[in-house]
Structures are given as C-alpha cells and as structure tokens.
Structure 1
Amino acid sequence: MTDDWLVLDPGEAVEWAARPRLMRAAPAVVASLVIAAVALGDAAALDPLALVALLVAPAPGLYGYLRVVNTRFVVTDRSVHRKRGIVGVDIRTVELDRVQNTRSARGVLGNAFGYGTVEIEVAGGSDLRFYDVYDPDDVRRLVERLSGARESIPGTVEQWRAVRDELRAIRRLVDAQPK
C-alpha cells in the first residue's frame, strides 16, 4: 500500500498503513449524479444547452474519489506519516518521540460500521489526523505503544528523591515567609 513517496530509514519497518474509507467520496459522487440528472431534465424540458452541464457533472465525483485514493496514512516503528493531495502533494512526517497524546473519535455511523478518526497531538507543531480509518482504537493504541516505547524517565531514583527533598525545603521556606 505504500508508494515511492514513503522513504524509510534503514531498519525502519511499516507497522500499519491505510487510506480513508472509500465511502468518504460518496457525497461527491451523489453531487455528480444530481448535476447529471438536473442537466438531463433541463435539456429534455427546457434548453439543449443544459447538456453542457453533463460535461461538468463527473467533476465532483472524480475529485472526491481521487482525493480518497491519493490519501495515505502510515505508522512505522519510528514515525507517523500522512500523504494527501491530487495535483499538489502534501506529505507530513512526525517522529514518534514528538507524539504527546493520541485520541480516537467515532460518530454514530462510525460506531455502527467500525470507523473513526485518530488524532495525534504533536509537540511543537500542529496535530495530525487520520480520518475515516477502520478500527481507530487499534491505531491509537499502536501509536501510543510505539511512542511510549522510546520514552524513559531520565535520572535515577536517588536523583529524583534529591529533587523532591529540595522542592520540599523550598516549599517550607515559602510557607514560613510572612504574608
């Protein structure tokens, strides 16, 4: 499912890859069908020039379809990637150590059909969204697991106890000050 747009580092492995559900293009396809029906109805009843609208009718459906099939979401063991765009391509890559939080959301239809959105909060940048993906909770847990695997608490227990004791001493001094 990954194309030549995704360049992996040596040893980096793809953990998950997907695109939005194809049903995301359904409203645009319906719009195309409505335009075509109106054009045919107008051409038969009023004006043969309305047939020109039949040339434009496929555009919304085609755009919606191309927008879905040209969007990719990829999670590797080191980073998260999103590619979207038809003519101009936007590729966004976020290293897993910059992931601060993740969340998944599902609407009513998403609960019924098993799809939703995964939002990835990024340190020092705008958030990243994987929209209309199947099993968003599984994707969220995968990103959390992979991003958490790289984190470790710096220092030793003794160093943290020394910090705690120092903060307690500062707190006692502050509390002893007259107000």
Structure 2
Amino acid sequence: MTDEWLRLEAGETVQWEARPRLVRAAPGVLAGLAVAVVAVAGGVAVDPLALGLLLAAPLPAGYAYLRVVNTRYAVTDRALYRKQGVVGIDQRTVELGRVQNTRATQNVTGTLFGHGTVEIEVAGGRELRFADIHDPNDVRRRIERLGGGTSAVPGTVDQWRAVRDELRAIRRSLERQLK
C-alpha cells in the first residue's frame, strides 16, 4: 500500500500502515441518496427541472469516498505519518521522539467490531489522529513501543544509588554550614 506519498529516510522501515475503514464514507453516501430522493420528489411534485438535482446526487458520496481512499496512515521506526485530502493534500509527519502520550478510543460499535481512533499528543504541536482504523489498541501499543513510551526509569540502580549518595553528601555539607 505504500506508494509515492511516503518518503522514507535511508534505513527507515514501515512498521504499520493503513487507511480508515471504507464505512467512514457512509454519511456522504446517505447525503447523496437524500439529494436524489429530494430531486425525484421535487421533479414529480413541483417542477421537472428539479430532476436536475439528480446530477448533484453523486457528489457528496463521491467526495466522502475520495476522502477515505486518499487518507493514509503510517508508522515507521522513526516517525508517524498522515496524509489526507481530496483537492488540497495535507501531509503531517511527527517524529517518535515528539510523541508525549497516546490514547485509543472506541465507541460501542468499535468495541464490538474492533475499530476505533488513536489520538497522539505531540510536544510543541497539535494532536495527531489515526481515525477509524482496525485494532486501535494494537496501533497505540506499537507507537508506545517504538517511541520508547514506557514507564521505565532511565539509568541503572547503581547510577541512582550514586546520585542518592551525592545528594546526601551535599545535604550534610549544607547542614554543617548552617550550624
């Protein structure tokens, strides 16, 4: 699925990629059907020229479909990527080191059918969202793992003992000076 939109640096590898589920275009399809019903009803009841609205009926459905198929998400071992847009293209890249927090959300149907959204908080920037994807919890865990987003304390136990001992020595020195 990776094509020309994703420009990887040397040695960078794709760990996960997807696009939103196609059912995300359903509201646009419903809007197109509503326009068609109004056009037919208006053409029959009011004016035959209202049937001209039938020409506009596929527009909402087509636009919604294009929005879904032109949206791509990718996670590499170095960054997160999102590309979206039909006429104007918006491509966003976030380095894994700038990821501060991630959250996976699922509504009732998402929980039943295994889809949802991953929200990514970015240091110094606006939030990034991977909307309506399959298995959002797996994607969130993958981002956390790649970004080192674990709760592990940096350094070894011996290094922290050395820091503690140094702080105790500084405290003793300060207490002697105050007496």
Smaller-chain TM-score range? Answer: 0.7 to 0.9
Are positions 1:148 and 2:135 aligned together? Answer: no
Distance 2:117 2:157 in 1: 39
1:50 maps to 50
1:106 maps to 106
2:68 maps to 68
1:74 deviates by: 0.2
Cα gap change, 1:118/1:149 in structure 2, threshold over 3 Å: closer, same or farther? closer
Are positions 1:135 and 2:135 aligned together? Answer: yes
When the two structures are superposed, what TM-score results if normalisation uses the length of structure 2? 0.86
Cα gap change, 1:97/1:167 in structure 2, threshold over 3 Å: closer, same or farther? farther
Distance 1:128 1:77 in 2: 17
Distance 1:141 1:168 in 2: 42
**Percent identity between the two aligned chains:** 62
1:120 deviates by: 1.1
CA offsets 1:72-115 (integer angstroms, 9 cap, x no match): 00001111000000111000001111111111010011011110
Q: Structure 1 regions of 5+ residues with no counterpart?
A: none
Cα gap change, 1:152/1:8 in structure 2, threshold over 3 Å: closer, same or farther? farther
Distance 2:138 2:11 in 1: 24
1:152 deviates by: 8.6
Whether contact under 8 Å (1:82, 1:91) holds in the other structure is yes
Whether contact under 8 Å (2:144, 2:150) holds in the other structure is no
RMSD: 2.6
Secondary structure of 1:138's counterpart equals: helix
Q: Give 2:147's aligned amino acid.
A: S
2:24 maps to 24
Following TM superposition, the consecutive aligned residue runs of length 4 or more in structure 1 with deviations greater than 3 angstroms are: 149-165, 167-170
Q: Structure 2 regions of 5+ residues with no counterpart?
A: none
Are positions 1:81 and 2:87 aligned together? Answer: no
Whether contact under 8 Å (2:39, 2:51) holds in the other structure is yes
Cα gap change, 1:6/1:150 in structure 2, threshold over 3 Å: closer, same or farther? farther
